[in-house]
Amino acid sequence: QVQLVESGGGLVQAGDSLRLSCAASGLTFSRYAVGWFRQAPGKERESVSGIGTGGIAYYADSMKGRATISRDNAKNTVYLQMNSLKPEDTAVYYCAARFLVFRTPPVPNDYNYWGQGTQVTVSS
């Protein structure tokens, strides 16, 4: 019974920051790569960030300079710190996991386990 649970979303103003969390259970967390994806209404799901088992990180061009991904294997948790948020960041943010392999950019179809998502809304 693998579970991924996102938290930390909310309503913020442009320029504000959020830290999203992805808490995992039911798997050996340190052996899984984790990706963050987002989906806005009417748009395809897109990769935002990702982190491999060794800590290598990926950021979408839209996130570079504004986001930091990290993982705490002892807490079975991955974090995504997002700064200088923009209205175009508004979306449901999902975390997802796959066993060992990490390729960039993360591809949604590669990921086996998904959370329910957390809503991020950025007002202007």
At residue 102, the pLDDT reads 97
Sequence-distant (≥ 6) Cβ neighbours of residue 93 within 8 angstroms = 6, 9, 20, 36, 37, 38, 48, 80, 117, 118, 119, 120
pLDDT of residue 72: 97
pLDDT of residue 43: 97
* Mean pLDDT in consecutive groups of 10 residues from the start of the chain, 124 residues: 97 98 97 98 97 97 98 97 98 98 97 98 97
7 token code pair = 């938290």
Residues 6+ apart with CB under 8 A from 63: 48, 49, 82
CA torsion, points 12, 17, 122, 61, in degrees to nearest 10? 180
